[in-house]
Structure 1
């Protein structure tokens, strides 16, 4: 456990951030506060090379993954992340409760049900759905923002950084959020894993932009031609989400010999299942709409929206999806600390 081979094998490890060994030492010695102050677990992309090269079979990459799960529970001040990681039943129950609540809202507040043709915007006016989206995202961002601020306080404790440095280094956060570029330097053969994740991520971003910003143009009763921007981008997002999540599910369920997929927590699988289901129900709504099936369209639409809201409310502030914030934030804070110490 003390040879340091894992840190030597990792191309992202350096003198300032010597992981995984540094985190191993903190964990072995029970230095809880030191782990909380460490950004290193988030700098690991789990390529698995350290697992392959470890002479003791200590699985350092999985230790880093387990540490990230623990850190997620520690950043969260509500205690829900701890509850969900400890009990899959509670996670499923919380998701189900939110999804059923959203379905009930549609059941009691929907508009007229037109059955001789598809009028989705009459059944669920896009303007009101958009307001609901905005309320949901404000709640989610408030929770995730509070968790991220808690992470910031722990990592930057005792470090003074000039305000101008935050501004000049802000592109580091943006670049790593949208590209995960450090992952491309990781491992002996990470390009396919990075490309698959990036493909999934671009589909996620495309769908979020359509739904959160352009919903009233995207959710329409007009059947646009294939090359119309909203329809084309919607197809791209659906394919990216289905292929990305589907291939990752296949890897985790059937190719566990790969370092990246050797171990899976319930929340890993549940998250991918939800993403795949969201993509499938979304494209089914589209096909039912252009196929002129009113009741089928309305029913699948309610299921689709309920799953989307439940997934975002659970996974973004408390679960797997929170790494979208924590990893680029850790890289940003590591950069700030390094530059502040040099100055």
Structure 2
């Protein structure tokens, strides 16, 4: 297979982070110490070499980018201080921008001021659109129920539009990634679905990538030793990561369930119910998990608790800020809902919450949040390769 060399690859990569691996002389120390390296994933040495020699397609097709959790052991042991862990994080940002056909991810990662301005404008657009499209700009809010401030139908159809755009961007990005990884690994659609044995491998790989790793975080928890025994459980990265993921998923399920109950005329949206009501209890617990995880991540980045927090980009802070605002405004809405009449500030908090939540979903494929799309795909191919090695052994 012909390899195309991009001589400007390393310089382009450096726009996405502070990593400078020109000092790396491929000694292999990082691979030797990495708890996740094996015969199929000899990283980060291999990925660094791709960048140094300009092998762009191989770098973008490296599932190793996404199986790395940036524990920092490689950077701590690097004899030339090339910081391979941060390089892997930089390469993931570059990959997200490369899979994105719009160019928005590149702006968010490489031009933080402009990226922040775009984020503010997107939120302002959603807020203004829902306020004016609902015909509520001049109405007396004291005459409205809190959840009538923005009509439910408007939120519903705007949300569907956002999900369609999200799905379209996600499918394009994942499709580009899968082509790169599959070509590099010699996989194809036929090899993953042709025959009972192939289907068995594919289903096992899907379970490993989504159930065991993405949701259960087995290797992150068991193999990545960035958390020393003296590190308290409440601030270990895998705990914070798990709480953030499960919290976000729980809120998503609670929101969809609440909307479904309203559609079935079981409970109107925004109706005050006891805290132990299933959707309310799920939303409250999930919101607490999300807020704790995100807040601790923000504190950890500010205080640089771990190697992964040593370098932060504008996009990193943007994602954390959007998640935190979504969670915090959600709890404020819950408070306003139970107050005897709804306070005036509750209407505007509700509008802010909906606007930021819409923006968060719309920007998912273009920020660090894109890990939830690309990491499971990489782990899927990693599991397939592992099964093939075991079968041929």
Aligned position for 2:18:
none
Q: Does 1:159 align with 2:187?
A: yes
Q: Would you say 1:181 and 2:211 are equivalent positions? A: no
1:335 corresponding residue in structure 2 = 383
Q: Is the 8 A contact 2:257 2:279 kept in 1?
A: no
Matched, 1:227 2:251: no
SS at the partner of 1:250?
Answer: helix
| Cα distance change on mapping 1:230 and 1:117 into 2, 3 Å | farther
1:201 aligns with 2:219: no
Q: Which residue of 2 aligns with 1:90?
A: 114
2:32 is the counterpart of 1:4? no
**Following superposition of structure 1 onto structure 2, how do residues 287-298 of structure 1 map, counting pairs within 5 Å?**
287-291=335-339, 292-298=341-347
- Bigger mean CA offset, 2-11 vs 220-229: 220-229
Q: Superposition RMSD on alpha carbons, in Å? A: 2.2
CA distance in 1 between counterparts of 2:324 and 2:226 reads 29
What secondary structure sits across from 1:182 in the alignment? helix
| 2-structure distance, mates of 1:298, 1:257 | 38
Q: Deviations over 1:60-115 (max 9, x none)?
A: 10010001011111111122111221111232222222212211222223367564
Q: How does 1:233-252 map to 2 (within 5 A)?
A: 233-252=282-301
**Deviations for 1:247-291, whole angstroms, at most 9, x for unmatched residues?**
1111111x2253231111111111111111111111111111211
Aligned length: 341
Answering whether residue 147 of structure 2 is matched by residue 109 of structure 1, we say: no
User: What TM-score, normalized to structure 2?
Assistant: 0.81
TM-score (norm 1): 0.92
- Deviation (angstroms), 1:118: 5.8
Deviation of 1:225 (Å): 1.3
Task: Report if the CA contact (8 A) 1:130-1:212 is conserved.
Answer: no
Where 1:241 maps in the other structure, the secondary structure is: helix
Maintained 8 Å contact 2:105/2:367: yes
Structure 1 residues 164-189: Cα deviation after superposition (integer angstroms, max 9, x where no partner): 24345321232122222221111252
- Equivalent residue number for residue 45 of structure 1: 69
8 Å Cα contact 2:30-2:84 kept in structure 1: yes
Q: Where does residue 10 of structure 2 map in the other structure? A: none
Instruction: Summarize the Cα distance change of 1:182–1:118 in structure 2 as closer, same or farther, 3 Å threshold.
Output: farther
- Secondary structure of the 1:186 match is coil
Distance across 2 between alignment mates of 1:310 and 1:162 = 35
Q: For 2:58 and 2:224, locate their aligned partners in 1 and report how far apart those are by CA, in whole Å.
A: 25
- What are structure 1's unaligned runs of at least 5 residues? none
Q: How far did residue 3 of structure 1 move?
A: 1.6
The Cα shift of 1:130 comes to 2.4
Give the corresponding residue for 2:256: 212
Return the alpha-carbon distance in structure 1 between the equivalents of residues 202 and 242 of structure 2.
Answer: 26
